[in-house]
Homo-oligomer: A and B are copies of this chain.
Amino acid sequence: MSAPRITVALDAVIVAVSDRTPRVLTVIDGDPPAIPSGPLDPAGDATLELALRRYVREQAGLEVGYVEQLYTFGDLRRGSAVAPAARAISVAYLALVEQAQPAPGAAWANWYDILPWEDHRSGRPSVIEDALVPRLRQWCEADDHLSGERTARVGLNFGLEKTPWDGIRVLERYELLYEAGIVAEAHIDGGGPDPAPVPGTTMAADHRRIVATALGRLRGKLTYRPVVFELLPGTFTLSRLQRTVEALAGVPLHTQNFRRLVERAGLVEGTGTQTSTGGRPAELFRFREDVQLERPRPGLGIPYR
């Protein structure tokens, strides 16, 4: 018997922020929304990143700026019981854009429709206690031997008891929900029926996991690299900057302290011009490229608690 072929796919989590909402680009050809994706052309694509850019251009009509490799997924899917014709490896990327009109067939999805438990800007979302925790507890108690370990993991990742909420653990939380069978795709993959629907848009294949990976990575990166600015126009008010950061981090920030942080860190510089915003007019700022030469790790020290 000959070894099966291997196919390599590139997946792109393309992120933009508008209206205080972080968004992910989805293509809607099939039923469950999917992120732009396509096979690597082993002969034609010189680099993985170029292949990705090509796909995004073709499928979404977007030219992306900042691109970063996220993770490579290559496990045999539990669902594929029959030996597949080819082993599928997928390399996922994170891309950031200032929001633009995508091509027909592509649309911006609200990140927090996909992962509703991640938005803590107006306090801890009720979905955690209402929908998640009861089923997680059930899962913890379902196995006598693993019960303790499971309870600890749940507590740690969902900020139960004394543990503070850690915004960065997006992927760990998703994986816990998957393991516990609480997200719909766990049952699709497992082949079994879905006992009860749970909040959050299900996506094609493992795309929701990839989106979770991306959000976690982005939240982390925010604290030590000036990546937010990739999502903003050339000039912006400090409150727009703050709203963008809050949208990604999923937590509210103290306005005055945010301002202090951002100015003292030398991340931005005023342009002198002003813009009206419904209250006192705000000064327009721009990103100071030079921070990167002055500070080793310029970012926004966000308190993820």
Contacts and interface: CB of A to CB of B under 8 A. Distances in A.
A42 B4 CA distance: 6
A280 interface: no
Interface string A137-181: 000000000000000100110000011111011000000000000
Nearest to A76: B46
Contact of A75 (B48, B71, B305): B48
A189 interface: no
Contact of A4 (B43, B47, B152, B169): B43
A292 interface: yes
Contact of A91 (B42, B47, B74, B155): B74
Copies in the complex: 2
A43 B297 contact: no
A274 interface: no
Contacts of A75: 46-48
Contact of A305 (B41, B293, B296, B305): B296
Given A72-B72, A74-B47, A89-B89, A41 B156 contact: no
The A contact surface, by secondary structure, is loop
Contacts of A74: 8, 40, 47-48, 91
A3 interface: yes
A293 to B, nearest CB: 5
A269 to B, nearest CB: 18
A294 interface: yes
Given A6-B7, A72-B69, A75-B48, A155 B43 contact: no
A72 B43 contact: no
A87 interface: yes
B76 A47 contact: yes
B293 A89 contact: no
Contacts of A46: 75-76
A5 interface: yes
Given A75-B47, A296-B166, A6 B152 contact: no
Nearest to A164: B296
Nearest to A50: B75
Contact of A5 (B6, B83, B91, B297): B6
Interface in A270-305: 292-297, 304-305
Contacts of A292: 156
Contact of A294 (B6, B76, B162, B297): B162
Interface of A: 3-8, 40-43, 46-48, 69, 71-72, 74-76, 83, 86-87, 89, 91, 152, 155-156, 162-166, 168-169, 292-297, 304-305
